[in-house]
Every structure is written in C-alpha cells, then in structure tokens.
Structure 1
Amino acid sequence: MKQGVVITPRVIHFEISAGDVARAKKFYEEVFGWKIERSEGSMEYWNIITGKQEEPGIDGGLMKRQGGEPGADTPIGTYICTIGVPNIDEYLSKIQKHGGKVTMEKRPIRGVGWYAYCLDTEKNIFGIMQPDTSVR
C-alpha cells in the first residue's frame, strides 16, 4: 500500500457460491442479463460482469459452494448484496419464473424506493431495489 493513500471500506466485489454452478449461471444470466464466463485461473471460478464499466456498480464471481447447503456449519454461507432493477414487479416475476423464490415481498423505503429479498436457485439470499424517491 502506498504511503498516504486512504482506503475507505466499501464493497468492491461480490461472490456467489453455488451447489450447481451451471444452474446458478443460467439463473443470473436469464434474470439479470449478466455475462458470466469461466476464469482463466487454476481454480473453478466464473467472472460475473454485471454491466458497463462506466456505469455505477460492481462485478463479482461465481464458484462451487464448499461444505454443502448454506447454514451455520457451511464455511461460505451468504453475504446479502442488493441489485438495482428498473421495475421490481417485473423482476420478482422473472426471479420466480427462473426457479428463484421471493422470501420477503416488496416493501417501501420512504424517499428511496421499493425493495424485496429473494433466494436464487442455490438458496443464496439477495435483495432487489427499484429506486423511487416518491415512495412514502
């Protein structure tokens, strides 16, 4: 680290662990239109490109889950990331159509927008949010 450089803690990458990588890959490609490609490295790892570099947001990775289903004894459980969407109702429908589940129906956040929690095909929880400053 360079002397004098201040680093502010913030999310710079996310990882999704999956029991069935192909199924998870298909889910995220079909629901959100993400580009998911196998990494050139030695471990089985897939790079997730969520959008254009000039747009806000981060990219991530997809890997085989270690230790079985998510739970207290699983070395890699979950870290909730929220995905911005233009229309929450449309995406809640797409999520269910592609094998995901809604775990908390959409709710308002006053002055911010609508949010909901869902499970992907690998039982990972994630959030989706539709910005809408008019929400009361």
Structure 2
Amino acid sequence: MIPTITWFNIPAGDTERARAFYEKVFAWKVEPFPGMEEKGVFEIVTGGIGGEILPRSHTGEPITVFIGVSSVEEYATRAAGFGGRVVVRKTAVPGRGYFVICEDTERNRFGLWEDDPQAG
C-alpha cells in the first residue's frame, strides 16, 4: 500500500454556513455525519477523497489532510523517528478505523488514517 491522502477536515465557526459554501462552490454533496448530527458535523460524500466539516476548536485551525496507511502506529513511530512528533495518539472512530495526528519537522499537522471496520 502506498500512503495517499484519503480524507480531510475543514474546521468552521458555523458548519451550516460552511456546508452551504462548499455545496455551492464545488457542487459537493454534504450530509450530516451519522451519529454526530447534534454536534454540527457534516460528511462530504461526493466521490473521490472523503472529508468532513466540523466545529472549529480554536482560531486559526487549518484544514487537516489524512494519509491512509496500513498501520497508524507504525507510521506515527516513523514520523517521530525522523524528527516529527505525535500530537494526538491513536484514536478509534467506531466502525470505521483509527487516526493519529502528527506534526512534521516544520510544525505542519497531518493525520494518519487506518481503515478498520472493527474499530471501537
């Protein structure tokens, strides 16, 4: 498996407004994220790379890309070994998989994603 970008998060102060923007600009289909509707999270379900619009946790939070890998633990260790660091340790997304958030040597954040329908 060659690691490639598989997902992205778009943080927003107003997720409904952001949803309308991306639907209008790119004609993306954006729906409430199953199980996260009450938190204002939306999933971008248009073909290609997946993504979501979610409430912003802090000012200036950038769009985060997620790179699909065979093992988030293995690649997080590799990132740390080459001068990066782990910012968010392995976290389950029930029924979908696991993610880790890392920083590279330039303090850019990126996510690692491991598909696993048994995640819990």
Query: TM-score, structure 2 length as denominator?
Result: 0.50
**Distance in 1 between residues matched to 2:119 and 2:62, nearest whole Å:** 29
1:113 aligns with 2:92: no
- How far did residue 8 of structure 1 move? 2.6
Q: Highest CA radius of gyration, 1 or 2?
A: 1
Map 1:1-136 onto structure 2 (within 5 A).
Answer: 7-9=26-28, 78-136=62-120
Render the CA deviation track for 1:14-65: whole Å, top value 9, x for unaligned: xxxxxxxxxxxxxxxxxxxxxxxxxxxxxxxxxxxxxxxxxx66xxxxxxxx
Larger helix fraction of residues:
2
Larger strand fraction of residues:
2
The answer as to whether partners of 1:78 and 1:124 remain within 8 angstroms in 2 is no
Stretches of 4+ aligned residues off by more than 4 angstroms: none
- How far did residue 106 of structure 1 move? 0.5
**Distance in 1 between residues matched to 2:83 and 2:26, nearest whole Å:** 39
Gaps of 5+ in 1: 1-5, 11-55, 58-70
Aligned length: 69
Gaps of 5+ in 2: 1-24, 30-47, 50-58
**Distance in 1 between residues matched to 2:63 and 2:95, nearest whole Å:** 25
* Percent identity of paired positions between Structure 1 and Structure 2: 29
Q: What is the root-mean-square deviation in Å for CA atoms of aligned residues?
A: 2.5
- How far did residue 7 of structure 1 move? 4.3
